[in-house]
Amino acid sequence: MRNLLLTSAKRIVVKIGSSLVASRKLGLRIDQLERLSKEIAELKAGNREVVIVSSGAIVAGIEKLGLKTYPQSLPLKQAAAAAGQSHLIHAYEKCFKENGQKVAQVLLTHQDLADRKRFLNARYTLTTLMQLGVIPVINENDTVSVEEIRFGDNDALAGQVAHLVDADLLVILSDVDGLFTEDPRQNSSAKLIPEVQDITPEIEQRAGLSRTQDSTGGMATKIQAAKQVAEFGVPTLIINGETPGLLSGILAGTGAGTLFHPQSRRLPSRKHWIAYTLRPKGHLLLDDGAVEALMFRGKSLLPSGILEVKGDFLPGDPVACTDLQGKEFAKGLVNYSSHTLLKIKGQKTSDIKRVLGSHEYEEVIHRDNLALL
Ligand code: GLU
């Protein structure tokens, strides 16, 4: 099964972290970029489509601008990213050209994907590039991404991209060999976990918060990305990006790294987008009856089951649904604003007209616009 998931993957998203392609002192690691380009060209020659999500702009920018330390303020990070990104993409162009491949730069912000129209537009552009045989090289558009609208880290971006392009496999190149029973840098008896069927809270805890100097995420963000794409039926392979041959080895299947299996029940794309791309603008606290109706009976959310409304949102905005234990168990697009919901929460559907003077929708969230988490 493991090898089949790898060898049958036709469309592969490869996430390349900063430390693999750039160093603060020496700038771009051209030797690594040459090797990775060669391996990715081999994947393409093996009839695979490849999308790259590459970090490294900030680190490359630090060297280019001669900054002494890693920038702390957002404007300085953004300036370094802008200076470094052109450097980075130029290196990708050159290395891939030597291997007979063309690349295209695509810079995305979270907002681009949170708007369904722009999401679909980005999807068409990326699939067109792939049809033309071009390798998209994606990064976050750091220059215009302020804290609230950032993807946060490129592991999260890679997860979003895997969904965006409907990938068959997400490969995350790490600076360690995969997920270990403990942090291998701190404990030499730590053992590699070759396969993960289900990302349980224990696995998430195991991933901890280990991080290296120049990476934003560490293992925890990789596991979160794997968890999200698993819900979309996509497996994730975490391998050591410094080890030659592992990436191109996917063509024949590989025993290296950690493979996270996909969930058998795949969320449809639009529901996955509601659940994992959109960020909630508010929260609805529901009573047990409503939780049960949504979770187990495939029902829409009616005003009667709502106990509390938090946040400030408009019709069409995403909101999260929480049960009495405080667990966020669903996300959906609301038909009513927070202002209106405060008036009709707890009311019977038949009373909406009396309270509001009109009755546009029976449901607060229609089940077609609701994704269970
Ligand atoms: N977009 C950032 C860069 O290119 C990296 C963010 C990350 O690695 O998570 O430097």
Q: Which domains does the chain have, with CATH numbers?
A: 2-271 (3.40.1160.10), 280-372 (2.30.130.10)
Output the six-digit token pair for 37: 């380009």
> What is the predicted pLDDT for the residue at 351?
85
> What is the predicted pLDDT for the residue at 310?
97
pTM of this structure:
0.88
Tell me how far the alpha carbon of residue 153 lies from the centroid of ligand 1, in angstroms: 6
> What is the predicted pLDDT for the residue at 148?
63
**Residue position matching structure tokens 């750091």:** 142
- Closest of 340, 304, 247, 344 to residue 40, by C-alpha: 247
Backbone dihedral region for residue 52 (phi beyond 0: left; psi -120 to 50: alpha; all else: beta): beta
The SS3 of residue 49 is strand
Does residue 217 line the site of ligand 1, with CB under 6 A? yes
- Residue with CA nearest ligand 1 atom 2: 55
Alpha helices in the chain (DSSP H): 2-7, 18-21, 30-45, 57-65, 74-98, 110-114, 116-131, 154-164, 201-207, 219-230, 269-272, 288-296, 338-344, 352-356
For a mutational test of ligand 1's pocket, the pick from 21, 154, 161, 219, i.e. the residue with the most ligand atoms closer than 8 A to its C-beta, is: 154
For a mutational test of ligand 1's pocket, the pick from 14, 55, 86, 87, i.e. the residue with the most ligand atoms closer than 8 A to its C-beta, is: 55
Longest dimension (CA), the chain: 71
pLDDT along the chain (373 residues), means of 10: 90 96 91 97 96 96 93 91 96 97 96 92 96 97 78 91 96 92 83 92 75 60 94 95 94 90 89 94 97 96 96 96 96 96 91 82 94 92
Tell me how far the alpha carbon of residue 215 lies from the centroid of ligand 1, in angstroms: 8
> What is the predicted pLDDT for the residue at 350?
83
Does residue 56 line the site of ligand 1, with CB under 6 A? yes
Q: Alpha-carbon distance 153 to 323, whole Å?
A: 29
Does residue 139 line the site of ligand 1, with CB under 6 A? yes
The number of the ligand 1 atom at minimal distance from the alpha carbon of 58 is: 10
Tell me how far the alpha carbon of residue 80 lies from the centroid of ligand 1, in angstroms: 11
> What is the predicted pLDDT for the residue at 359?
75
Q: Given strand 49-54, what is the order of strands in its sheet?
A: 103-108, 135-140, 49-54, 11-16, 169-174, 236-240, 258-260, 195-196
